[in-house]
């Protein structure tokens, strides 16, 4: 049928001859068609398989479109792997700069070291330095990255097989010794002893426990035991395997989308739900995680968490060693918790009120509650419970730089009003510590500054009375426009009228303000308090949003 995939439309005669040739090939009277590689094509292959699509049709009979293209690079990368744990020669005798501080190897750093952290690393002890590892540059392909058995040595399984064989041989030898001593409760040995005792006129063989005949009886009565990994009813002889029912749909067939939930073929598990848009309660299969957290599983997790927390606080609670005790203590803990919650609720409502807001509690209050019980003494020490951890700053604390033994800001200089270091009394940040010498130098400089200031204060003022009055005017609270000002209403009204006339004449405010500023700086009282107040009252405030507002009704009425 592969020859029927010729390019172009066939005539009626060519089509009939093609059909006869296909029938002859199927009957075996005509040789089979050959592909481009010279291999015969089976004439019984259906046409929808042998005929190539229009975008792959070459005009010659071929089955290359059905074969997966072979990639030599992926085949080589699939078998490439590295030797785990290979060491590069003997270890060094001394620690080398840039090596791992823990084990001394040069191929990794301390944070990547897989060896157990030492109390003192190889950098400080210079002992037990490990050899360098061999770093392999393995270029794995797409299949090699997803191969779970890549790099596994099948010879390792022989060790497990030999171990099981040794255990089985020891068990068989122990069973034979027990039968020989007649101290076993094995059903086969008891029946053998009873059968030997019923024999009349015959002595029991003392070595019957090690004979081949008993081994056959042991195998016969061993059928009554339950087999491992299956549920066996010895009466009805029906074996029920722990497998899924074959009529059920497989997990990986529920959703054929490759981007759906991941299916592990080795463990036959699918943790997530294959159908995301279907609720878990209505879905045929909601994922292994849904069944794992359903039923009593959350209660067991809460009980285990309570046992861990109780053991961390010094209580002798272990869920596996004494499950009954753990369950009773957990039940008692929940009752006390509910009781304390009710007592606290009633007392708080009785003292502060606000019961009407309980239905809408803010989320920040719910998340801010705690169940830690702490009891303090009168002196502020913790008697019972765990002390609350102190809030730490986001900035680094207790960091000593430049040979300082105290942090910046641990000392305050009263004379200059600046902060510094308590170890050397230095007021310069990130300066080098001078110790006691720095303290003596700081005290000497402070004493010299105080002496200079006292001398300056003791000198008499050489200025005349007019200069003193000017200084008093400039540096006191009696300047124009400041302090408690008593204004004369008549003078204020006159000053306002004069200011309005000046604005009507078109004088600039900048010249006036500069004049006033000059008068204030010189200490003269050319500008009176009333004139300054009138200027402030009539000044136009540019920042006022209503400064340019004009009501149209007022304009018309005027």
DSSP secondary structure, 344-363, as one string: HHHHHHHHH--GGGGGG--H
**Do you know the residue count of the chain?**
558
- Please state which of the ranges 259-263, 455-459, 503-507, 518-522 shows the lowest mean pLDDT: 518-522
High-pLDDT (> 90) share of the chain, %: 15
In a domain, 266, yes or no: no
Question: pLDDT tens for residues 333-347?
Answer: 999 988 898 888 889
> Confidence class of residue 393 from pLDDT cuts 50, 70 and 90?
confident
User: Of 503 and 389, which is predicted with more confidence?
Assistant: 503
Provide the token pair at 141: 């392909």
- Please state which of the ranges 101-110, 169-178, 401-410 shows the lowest mean pLDDT: 401-410
Contact 5, 52 (CB under 8 A): yes
User: Of 541 and 31, which is predicted with more confidence?
Assistant: 31
User: End of a domain among 67, 82, 117?
Assistant: 67
In a domain, 514, yes or no: yes
Q: Based on the fold, state whether residues 437 and 507 are members of the same structural domain.
A: no
User: Of 395 and 319, which is predicted with more confidence?
Assistant: 319
* pLDDT beyond 80 at 109: yes
Q: What is the mean pLDDT of the chain?
A: 76
Contact 442, 422 (CB under 8 A): no
User: End of a domain among 373, 388, 403?
Assistant: 388
Question: pLDDT tens for residues 52-98?
Answer: 888 888 878 888 888 887 766 555 566 677 777 788 888 999 999 99
In a domain, 218, yes or no: yes
Q: Based on the fold, state whether residues 318 and 375 are members of the same structural domain.
A: yes
In a domain, 368, yes or no: yes
Q: Based on the fold, state whether residues 307 and 384 are members of the same structural domain.
A: yes
Which residue spans within 364-519 are E strands per DSSP?
Answer: 375-376, 382-384, 411-413, 418-420
> Confidence class of residue 238 from pLDDT cuts 50, 70 and 90?
low
Provide the token pair at 313: 């606080």
Contact 177, 113 (CB under 8 A): no
User: Of 391 and 95, which is predicted with more confidence?
Assistant: 95
In a domain, 125, yes or no: no
- Please state which of the ranges 300-304, 416-420, 520-524 shows the lowest mean pLDDT: 520-524
Q: Based on the fold, state whether residues 379 and 445 are members of the same structural domain.
A: no
How far is the first Cα of the chain from the last one, in angstroms, to the nearest whole number? 109
Distance CA 238, CA 148 (A): 37
> Confidence class of residue 360 from pLDDT cuts 50, 70 and 90?
low
Q: Based on the fold, state whether residues 377 and 321 are members of the same structural domain.
A: yes
Stretch 300-329: mean pLDDT? 88
- Please state which of the ranges 27-41, 218-232, 411-425, 477-491 shows the lowest mean pLDDT: 218-232
Tell me what pLDDT residue 520 has: 44
- Please state which of the ranges 23-32, 126-135, 230-239, 415-424 shows the lowest mean pLDDT: 230-239
* pLDDT beyond 90 at 117: yes
Beta bridge partners of 40: 34
User: Reduced to 3 states, what is the DSSP secondary structure of residue 261?
Assistant: coil
User: End of a domain among 17, 49, 67?
Assistant: 67
Tell me what pLDDT residue 44 has: 92
Tell me what pLDDT residue 100 has: 95
In a domain, 141, yes or no: no
Number of compact structural domains in the chain: 5
> Confidence class of residue 101 from pLDDT cuts 50, 70 and 90?
very high
Distance CA 550, CA 534 (A): 23
* pLDDT beyond 60 at 7: no
Q: Based on the fold, state whether residues 341 and 425 are members of the same structural domain.
A: no
In a domain, 115, yes or no: no
Question: pLDDT tens for residues 126-145?
Answer: 999 999 999 888 777 787 88
Domain around 440: 411-454
> Confidence class of residue 374 from pLDDT cuts 50, 70 and 90?
confident
Stretch 267-296: mean pLDDT? 83
How much is the CA Rg of the chain, to the nearest whole Å?
Answer: 50
Tell me what pLDDT residue 545 has: 66
Q: Based on the fold, state whether residues 365 and 423 are members of the same structural domain.
A: no
Question: pLDDT tens for residues 456-511?
Answer: 665 554 445 555 655 555 555 455 556 566 778 888 888 888 888 888 886 554 45
Stretch 152-180: mean pLDDT? 90
In a domain, 105, yes or no: no
Q: Based on the fold, state whether residues 417 and 373 are members of the same structural domain.
A: no
Q: If you average pLDDT over each of 121-125, 229-233, 315-319, 485-489, which comes out highest?
A: 121-125
């Amino acid at each position: 049928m592969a020859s029927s995939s010729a390019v172009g439309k066939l005539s009626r005669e060519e089509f009939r001859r093609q059909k006869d040739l296909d029938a002859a090939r199927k009957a075996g009277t005509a040789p089979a068609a050959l592909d481009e590689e010279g291999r015969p094509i089976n004439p019984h292959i259906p046409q929808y398989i042998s005929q190539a699509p229009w975008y792959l049709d070459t005009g010659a009979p071929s089955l290359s479109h059905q074969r997966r293209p072979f990639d030599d690079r992926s085949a080589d990368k699939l078998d490439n792997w590295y030797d785990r744990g290979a060491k590069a020669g003997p270890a060094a005798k001394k620690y080398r700069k840039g090596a791992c501080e823990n084990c001394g190897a040069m191929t990794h750093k301390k944070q990547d070291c897989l060896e157990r952290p030492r109390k003192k690393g190889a950098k400080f002890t210079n002992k037990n330095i490990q050899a360098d590892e061999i770093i392999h540059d393995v270029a794995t392909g797409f299949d090699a990255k997803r191969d779970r058995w890549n790099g596994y040595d099948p010879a390792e399984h022989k060790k497990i097989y030999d171990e099981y064989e040794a255990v089985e041989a020891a068990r068989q030898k122990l069973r034979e010794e027990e039968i020989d001593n007649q101290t076993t409760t094995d059903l086969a040995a008891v029946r053998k002893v009873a059968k030997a005792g019923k024999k009349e006129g015959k002595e029991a063989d003392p070595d019957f426990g090690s004979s081949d005949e008993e081994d056959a009886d042991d195998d016969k009565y061993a059928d009554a035991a339950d087999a491992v990994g299956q549920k066996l009813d010895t009466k009805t002889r029906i074996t029920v395997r722990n497998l899924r029912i074959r009529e059920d749909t497989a997990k990986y067939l529920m959703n054929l989308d490759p981007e759906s939930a991941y299916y592990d073929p080795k463990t036959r598990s699918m943790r997530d739900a294959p159908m995301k848009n279907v609720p878990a309660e209505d879905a045929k299969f909601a994922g292994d995680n849904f069944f794992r957290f359903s039923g009593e599983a959350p209660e067991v997790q809460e009980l285990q968490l309570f046992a861990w927390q109780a053991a961390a606080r010094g209580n002798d609670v272990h869920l596996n060693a004494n499950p009954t005790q753990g369950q009773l203590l957990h039940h008692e803990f929940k009752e006390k918790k509910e009781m304390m919650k009710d007592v606290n609720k009633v007392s708080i409502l009785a003292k502060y009120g606000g019961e009407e807001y309980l239905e809408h509690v803010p989320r920040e209050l719910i998340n801010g509650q705690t169940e830690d019980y702490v009891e303090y003494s009168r002196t502020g020490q913790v008697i019972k419970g765990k002390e609350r951890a102190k809030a730490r700053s986001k900035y680094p604390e207790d960091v000593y730089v430049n040979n300082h033994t105290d942090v910046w800001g641990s000392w305050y200089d009263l004379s200059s009003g600046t902060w510094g270091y308590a170890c050397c009394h230095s007021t310069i940040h990130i300066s080098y510590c001078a110790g006691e010498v720095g303290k003596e130098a700081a005290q000497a400089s402070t004493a010299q500054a105080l002496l200079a200031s006292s001398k300056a204060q003791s000198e008499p003022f050489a200025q005349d009375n007019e200069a003193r009055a000017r200084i008093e005017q400039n540096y006191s609270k009696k300047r124009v426009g400041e302090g408690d000002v008593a204004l004369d209403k008549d003078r204020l009204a006159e000053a306002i009228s004069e200011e309005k006339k000046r604005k009507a004449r078109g004088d600039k405010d900048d010249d006036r303000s500069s004049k006033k500023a000059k008068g204030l700086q010189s200490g003269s009282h050319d500008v009176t308090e009333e004139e300054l107040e009138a200027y402030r009252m009539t000044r136009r405030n540019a920042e006022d949003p209503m400064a340019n507002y004009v009501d149209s009704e007022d304009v018309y009425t005027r």
